[in-house]
Amino acid sequence: MLDKIIIIGNGIAALSAIKAIREVDKDSEIHLFGEEVFYPYSRIRLSKGLLSTLQEDKILLQKWEWYDDNNINLYLGSKIVSIDTDKKVVKLYDDGLISYTKLLLAAGSSNNKPNITGIEKPGVYSLRTLQDAWDIMDGLKNSQTILVIGGGVQGLEIAWALVQMDKNVIIAQITDRLMSKQLDEKCSKILKNKVIEKGVKILFNANVSEIIGKDRVEGFKLSNGEKYECDAVIYSIGTRPNIDFLQGTPIDTDRGIIVNNRMETNIEGIFAAGDIAQYNGNIFGLWNIAIEQGKVAGYNMAGRDTKYKYVPPVTTLNAFDLTLFSMGIVDETMVTDTMVEENIGDNTYKKIFIKDNYIKGAIVVGNIRLSPVLKSAIEKKVSLEGVDYKNMPIDDLIQLLKTK
């Protein structure tokens, strides 16, 4: 009997799964459900493309005809509200029921909403969907001063787009530095200086407690009592998996859906991948990891036994006339050696984190052209045994790694 596969969510994890399924099995029925009205598109393009006209057809993950060519039934604007794992049916927003033999949960994540008085006011935005991007661009036309809550990658990319639109930008960061998960202190400082140089005001250790304004945003207040004026707010403080629709099902969840190394949940025939999945206690919310997880889920659903291999998280940022790359472990306390090179004048910085003769992480600011060499060395676990790296410029080490 042919499988009838239902995929909930149509982001990159879902599409990666479909490619894997179709590689093995051309005939099973695939029904792909997305909540948004748009054809599957590249979400990571949104924060990078705020300055351009973000058109649906320019950011598609696959061409329109790909779905027909691959025999996929695509349902747009179709939210799945619940699952009956005993009867093997999903329930749609309009109460329609559809049966399945295998199910992939790839419904992604939503932006965390800060618990702040006034967060519902008109003039407060968050960027998750293409519609959000359009709303932001439309809503900010007449805004002059914008508060960005969150100094992570997305917050910084949004702030940079706003600076280029000649807006006054204030970043409120809850910790004492920017991109604290991906950068060491020194690198955060380089980034901070560059952001300030471009006219952005950064408030560190800033806990926004209230959005002020009668009918719409007029300012904000910090928990220490300080008040600032602004006329719009964009929050970007991380994401949480969309697992609410699984309530009442026997599918194991914690913060996300718990999966094994085949991306299978505790219920046979039900898989999860991408931002919604929790593997080994981790939810990464990263594009490259969603692709790998989707692929593994797809192969296993199609009957090709495949195990998930750890994919080290990689972050790159192009903003504020600065290019940076960060990968793997960037915490000195977790490694045995580091190599550092810095040139303050031209804002370049390289740091390599080594543990027991293996490169575990790296940060590169400036020219990141050679950063794939470091990425390969980390992924392929290239040994530095016998290499006198402590007395070697980093560029020489990189050239040496290229030959390994």
Q: Binding residues for other proteins, per CB under 8 A?
A: 12, 16, 19, 42, 44-45, 48, 58-61, 153, 286-288, 291-292, 295, 311, 314-318, 368-373, 375-376, 402
Quick one: 168 or 376, whose CB is closer to other proteins? Answer: 376
Quick one: 39 or 235, whose CB is closer to other proteins? Answer: 39
Q: Distances from the Cα of 252 to the Cαs of 56, 202, 242, in angstroms? A: 35, 41, 14
Q: What is the distance of C-alpha 68 from the center of its chain?
A: 29
Nearest distance from C-beta of residue 171 to other proteins, angstroms: 19
Determine the 3-state secondary structure of 91 from DSSP.
strand
Nearest distance from C-beta of residue 280 to other proteins, angstroms: 19
**49 near 59, Cβ under 8 Å?**
yes
Quick one: 76 or 311, whose CB is closer to other proteins? Answer: 311
Interacting residues of 203 by C-beta distance below 8 A, sequence separation 6+: 170, 171, 172, 173, 222, 228
Nearest distance from C-beta of residue 204 to other proteins, angstroms: 24
The count of other CB atoms within 10 Å of the CB of residue 97 is 11
Bridging pattern class, strands 358-365 and 322-328: antiparallel
Quick one: 59 or 124, whose CB is closer to other proteins? Answer: 59
Nearest distance from C-beta of residue 263 to other proteins, angstroms: 15
Quick one: 280 or 318, whose CB is closer to other proteins? Answer: 318
Quick one: 340 or 368, whose CB is closer to other proteins? Answer: 368
CA angle 68, 71, 75 (to 5 degrees): 70
Quick one: 45 or 240, whose CB is closer to other proteins? Answer: 45
Distance CA 216, CA 246 (A): 35
**51 near 165, Cβ under 8 Å?**
yes
Q: What one-letter code names the amino acid at 399? A: Q
Determine the 3-state secondary structure of 254 from DSSP.
coil
Nearest distance from C-beta of residue 371 to other proteins, angstroms: 6
Nearest distance from C-beta of residue 180 to other proteins, angstroms: 18
The count of other CB atoms within 10 Å of the CB of residue 226 is 11
Instruction: Find where tokens 């990189």 sit.
Output: 398
Nearest distance from C-beta of residue 314 to other proteins, angstroms: 5
